[in-house]
Amino acid sequence: MNKELSNQSIGDEEILRYLRSPKEANKGYTLLLEKYQERLYWHIRKMVTFHDDAHDVIQNTFIKVFKNIKGFRQDSGLYTWMYRIATNESISYLRKRKRIQSNVVSNEILPMQDSLTSDPYFDGEAISLLLAKAMDTLPEKQKAVFQLRYFEEMPYKQMSEVMGTSEGSLKASYHHAAKKIEQFLKQRNINF
């Protein structure tokens, strides 16, 4: 087992202890990144779709984490707290992106599907493209709910902590999103 993999099993308490010690904070940051950066990257990537966007969002996410982690009171789990920041940052980014797009003459912006096929870090089949496009039609928060539940299979209880919304609302939102996406795919004759 390499060092980075073994660091992924280090407990959050230990990471926080390092971070709060001025002499060992650097080790704490390293452990925190080794344990969580990849998981958060993929969560953000599926939210914002493009690698370059995900790169910006994950940087903003970790800067906020770094600024606030020493005062983190552990009312929720560290992972849940970080997920929450990453989700909020992704939602905020998507809103900004939407605002910018709506302010630019529409033909200057590549449609989602064309943008994806020109992204060197996307290797999807037709249905993956359509699914990404369908997800992009959802409101930002609904997209986050769908992402957490469908792709990451996060339990509703944890989602509730991440999103700050009741489990009932999340279930309703997820079902609504899934039906919308299913409809989108059906209209484009996607079948198995």
Partner 1 sequence: MNERDDSDFLKKEAPILSHYKRAEKSPYLMPEGYMNSLKDTLLAEAKKLEEAPKSAKVISLPNWFRPVAAAASLLLVGWVGFALWSTSDTPALADNDALLLEEIDAYVEANFDEFGEEVYDLFLSEASTEDIEEIDWTNSLQIDDLEEGFWEEIDEQLLEELL
The only residue of 5, 9, 75, 108 in contact with partner 1, by rule CB under 8 A: 75
Answer for the pair 7, 34: CB distance below 8 angstroms, yes or no.
Answer: yes
Answer for the pair 185, 131: CB distance below 8 angstroms, yes or no.
Answer: yes
The yes or no reply on residue 26 touching partner 1 (CB under 8 A) is: yes
Task: Identify residue 116 by its one-letter amino acid code.
Answer: L
Q: 136 or 156, CB closer to partner 1?
A: 156
The yes or no reply on residue 137 touching partner 1 (CB under 8 A) is: no
DSSP string, 164-186: TS-HHHHHHHHHHHHHHHHHHHH
Structure-token pair, residue 39: 């998981």
Q: Give the interface segment with partner 1, choosing from 8-16, 71-79, 102-110 (CB under 8 A).
A: 71-79
Q: 14 or 182, CB closer to partner 1?
A: 182
Answer for the pair 57, 42: CB distance below 8 angstroms, yes or no.
Answer: no
Answer for the pair 41, 59: CB distance below 8 angstroms, yes or no.
Answer: no
Q: Give the interface segment with partner 1, choosing from 6-14, 102-110, 167-175 (CB under 8 A).
A: 167-175
Taking the alpha carbons of 165, 170, 172, 173 in that order, is the dihedral positive or negative? positive
Structure-token pair, residue 52: 């370059």
Residues that bind partner 1 (CB under 8 A): 25-26, 29-30, 33-34, 37-38, 41-42, 45-46, 51, 55, 58-59, 62-64, 66-68, 71-73, 75, 85, 88, 91-92, 95, 120-125, 127-129, 131-132, 139, 141-142, 145, 149-150, 155-156, 163-165, 169-176, 178-179, 181-182, 185-186, 190-192
